[in-house]
Amino acid sequence: MRKNEIKDNKEMVLFENNKIRRQMYNGEWNYAIADIIEILTDSKDPNAYWRKLKERLNKEGNESVTNCHGLKMIAKDGKLRTTDYAILTDEISKGTFGITTQQHKDIKSLDRQNLRDNMSAMELALMTLAEVTTTEIHKTNNSQGVVELQSDAKKGGGIAGVTRKNIEKQLGKPVVTSKNANDFRKNKRLNNNNNKLV
C-alpha cells in the first residue's frame, strides 16, 4: 500500500450504541472526530463544536490538531464529504485486553467482520465496561481535545483490564478467546441437538 493510500474499508464501530465512522489510513484506524464529539458532548452541531475547539487549540499551539487528517467519507446526508479524523490508538482495547483491536481480530481469524459481533459474552461485557467507564471519566473531567480523550480511554480500558485480570485469576484461563460468531453458532446448535436427544 502506498503512503497516504486509503483502504476501502468504511467500517463503523459502535460506542454506547452510537456509530462512529472510521477509516484505515497508513495502516492505522482513524476515527471521525465529529462522531466522537457528538456522543461525548451531546452537541446539536458537532461539526461547529469541533471547528471552534480546533480554532482554540491552534491558538494555544496545541499539537493535537496536527494529528488530524481530512479524509473523505459518507456523511449523514449520504454525500461524500471531507471529515477530520484523529488517530486514536486502541487505548480501550489495549487497556481492557492487553492487545490492539487488530490483534484481537487476528486471534479470532477475522478479516472485515465486526469484532464486537464476534466477541464472547465475557469479552463483550468487559468492552462495554471499558466504554461506559471511559464516557463517565470524560464527563467527570470535562475533557477537551484528542490528547485528553485518549487519556480517558486509557484509564477506562485500564479499569476494565484490572477486572479482566481478576476474572482470569478466578477462572484459570484467559478471557480473550479465538472463538468467533461461527463457533458460537455451532456450539449453540450442538447444545440444541443434545437437548433434543435427552
The answer to whether the pTM exceeds 0.75 is no
Beta strand segments in the chain, E: 12-15, 18-25, 28-32, 68-74, 80-86
Banded model confidence at residue 2, pLDDT cuts 50, 70, 90: very low
Tens of pLDDT along 27-52?
A: 666 778 888 888 877 788 888 888 88
Domain boundaries along the sequence of the chain: 1-88, 90-198
Q: What is the mean pLDDT of residues 66-75?
A: 63
Compute CA 66 distance to the chain's CA centroid, rounded to the nearest angstrom. 21
